[in-house]
Structure 1
Amino acid sequence: MTALWLIVVILLLATLLCLIPPLLRRAPPAQPAADANVRAFYLAQREQLRRDLKNGSLTACAQARAEEEMQRDLLQDLELRRPRAAPWAGQRAGVAAACLLSVLIPVAAVLLYGQLGNPRAAAGAAAVPAEPHAGASGASSDDMALAINALAQRLRAAPDDPDGWYMLARSYETLGRYADAVAAYQQVLRLVPGQAAVLADLADALLSANQGTPDAASIAAVAQALAAQPDQPKALALAGMMALRRGDAAEALAHWERLQTRLPPGSEAARQIQSNIAQARAMAAGSPPAPAAPAAARISGRARIADALRDQVQPTDTVFILARPEDGPRMPLAILQMQVADLPRDFVLDDSSAISPDATLSRASKVRVEIRVSRSGTAAARPGDLGGALPGVGVPAGGLELVADTVVR
């Protein structure tokens, strides 16, 4: 944002430099002829008169009158050629116009941008956090957390900004702060109630904060989303998952088949839903679905805590290693639990570490692998916890280096 305003200031200065100097510049004085040239011309004319008098073509009286007229003309010519200063009234008007333009042009630019531009986008650009990358430095993660906290402070001062609350909720989800994301989504719904997509996001955050277990709030949010928009994709996916978990395969099948017709054929989401539909049909028919080969859905690597942050945790603090879908609902597909004293340690995530039989690694092609060091003993991030993530990990994958290198703010 600093670069944007710097460019704006430079453009305004360039505009003023083009307009103001001509108004302050005095009119250039007329260039007088040199006195020597004027006198030389006069002497040549007088010499000609004397020659005319000598050869008789001019009388003495006429010659005297001619010299007198010539002297008068010479004086008038010298007076006209004398340099004159520009009138003060004209110069004063130029100064006044320059001062007026110096004020009006910046004010007009700000007012015009306020009407036609998007000031929120400029402010938001400084606050939107980037998706953390593998191996990101602690400094950049701290900058992201500071930016999110700055956005939260701005919203507490001016809470009637639904776009800002939605941006904050998505940012909290990126950091794994699902309880905070739930509160931010509720603020969005306070300002724009009944938004199906926001209700579905709220349900997803509630499920993530509750380790994937549906509760009354998440079930109600999904129901409200589908009542407002029956074809809302995330709400349909979550409704099918909730129905299957309570053993209602027919309802799960109805939701997922409705969703399948609205997904791009061949997409990852379409393949995931097709797998879910196969499981629901098998459950409805009373036969178990064909088990996925464990080796085809296995993620392995080594987990550790960054050396610079090791002294900020206790050996008995809880460590969670989990995998979430890269797209769609963020309910963990697999999760491991250990203690800080166990790290560094090799880990394996597969279908045996799933927390729900209808949400497993074998149903995903790309996941986000996370590590969370929790002082409270819950996987939902809280200020002071440590975290780290590897986004876009394909399934299967091995040899991962998972590092808790970020302090949750």
Structure 2
Amino acid sequence: MSDGGLMGVLVALTLSAGIFFVYPLGIKKVAASLFSLILAALILGAYLSWGGLAQWQTYRHQQESQQQAQQMLKSIKSPDELIRKLRAKLDDTPKSAKGWYLLGRLYNSQNKSKLSLNAFAKAHQFEPENEQYTVNYAHALWQQNNQQFSPEIVAIFNQLLSKNPNQPDALAMLAMKEYMSQEYKLAINYWQKLLKLVPPQSQEALAIHKAIAKAQGQIK
């Protein structure tokens, strides 16, 4: 099994990494806007590869890889089998950050939080500058810590914001942390920044508006 074929099968797992948390409302949403942005980036990449930045042979290779991935999907009977295949591939390429990240996504889908954390930690170790890997690692730490914020977890999210002030997962998690700490003005500040990143009339925007209102109601 080639690296390209296996990664082709697993690439769909990377399309749902962004998660918004709006704590006062008890809402945990997969951010549809982030999904759209990632999908658009993939489409743009394919267009550029075909449209001038690469040769026709590259496009043909991509098409063949997609066909191979579809054939592999038909042969895989369960997520556990996919996990076994990916683990076998990681035995050959143990420093593949992408492989460890995808394994973490698979474990997470199976509610295997400790194994998921270990896999995300490996991905973060091998590519500490990768924002997606860092977000998932920090969130896995938070889950494993009974959904409580430790200094390490807060530091990771703050580091993400220092590199990207509009990082939505960090904004959402730090807003939740401040709300839980009764630092309502700080929570509102984070949510207001997050609000600028979602479509104005979306369900996410409505949830954030309600969270802000609830926090404002707590201020004496």
Q: TM-score, normalised by structure 2?
A: 0.63
After TM superposition, list the pairs within 5 Å mapping 1:58-137 onto structure 2: 116-117=61-62, 122=68, 126=72
Gaps of 5+ in 1: 6-111, 131-139, 287-409
Cα distance, 1:124–1:203 mapped onto 2, change above 3 Å: farther
The verdict on how the C-alpha distance between 1:157 and 1:115 changes in structure 2, with shifts beyond 3 A counting, is farther
Confirm or deny that 1:213 pairs with 2:148: yes
Map of 2:206 onto structure 1: 271
Determine the structure 1 residue equivalent to 2:25.
none
8 Å contact from structure 1 (residues 195, 225) kept in 2: no
CA contact (8 A) 2:79 2:106 kept: no
Q: 1:255 to 1:268 in 2, by over 3 A?
A: same
Q: Decide which of 78, 86, 96 is 1:161's aligned counterpart.
A: 96
CA contact (8 A) 1:253 1:277 kept: yes
Equivalent position of 1:260 in the other structure: 195
State how far apart, in whole Å, the 1-side matches of 2:175 and 2:111 are.
24
Q: CA deviation at 1:152?
A: 2.0
Query: What is residue 175 of structure 1 aligned with on the other side?
Result: 110
CA 170–255 in structure 1, closer or farther in 2 if over 3 Å, else same: same
2:137 maps to which residue? Answer: 202
- In structure 1, the partner of 2:17 is none
Gap regions ≥5 residues in structure 2: 6-56
CA 1:196–1:280 in structure 2 vs 1: closer, same or farther (change >3 Å)? farther
Structure of larger gyration radius: 1
Q: What is aligned with 2:161?
A: 226
Aligned 8 A contact 1:194 1:225 in 2: no
Higher relative contact order (CA 8 A, sep 6+): 2
CA distance in 2, matches of 1:124, 1:188: 26
Q: What corresponds to 2:184 in structure 1? A: 249
Q: State the AA in 2 paired with 1:168.
A: L
SS at match of 1:230: coil
Q: Match of 2:33? A: none
The amino acid across from 1:226 in the alignment is L
Is residue 237 of structure 1 aligned with residue 182 of structure 2? no
Q: Matched residues in 2 for 1:209 and 1:125: separation?
A: 36
Shift, 1:187, TM fit: 2.0
Q: Is the 8 A contact 1:202 1:221 kept in 2?
A: no
Contact 2:142 2:148 in 1 (8 A): yes
CA contact (8 A) 1:226 1:236 kept: yes
Q: Deviation string for 1:314-340 (max 9, x for gaps)?
A: xxxxxxxxxxxxxxxxxxxxxxxxxxx
CA–CA separation in structure 1 for the residues paired with 2:149 and 2:103: 23
Q: Summarize the Cα distance change of 1:166–1:147 in structure 2 as closer, same or farther, 3 Å threshold.
A: same
Segment drifting more, 242-251 vs 209-218: 209-218
* Alpha-carbon RMSD: 3.1
Higher strand share: 1
Alpha-carbon distance in 1 for matches of 2:170, 2:126: 21
- Structure 1 residues 115-124 or 237-246, which shifts more? 115-124
- CA distance in structure 1 between the aligned counterparts of 2:167 and 2:112, rounded to whole angstroms: 24
TM-score (norm 1): 0.36
After TM superposition, the runs of 4+ consecutive aligned structure 1 residues lying more than 3 A away are: 112-127
Q: Describe the shift of the 1:210–1:124 C-alpha distance in structure 2 as closer, same or farther (beyond 3 A).
A: farther
Q: CA deviation at 1:162?
A: 2.5
Shift of 1:276: 1.6
More helix as a share of residues:
2
Distance change (3 Å), C-alpha of 1:273 and 1:156 = farther
Q: Report how far residue 237 of structure 1 moved.
A: 0.3
Q: 1:185 to 1:254 in 2, by over 3 A?
A: same
1:160 counterpart letter in structure 2: K
Distance in 2, Cα, partners of 1:125 & 1:183? 30
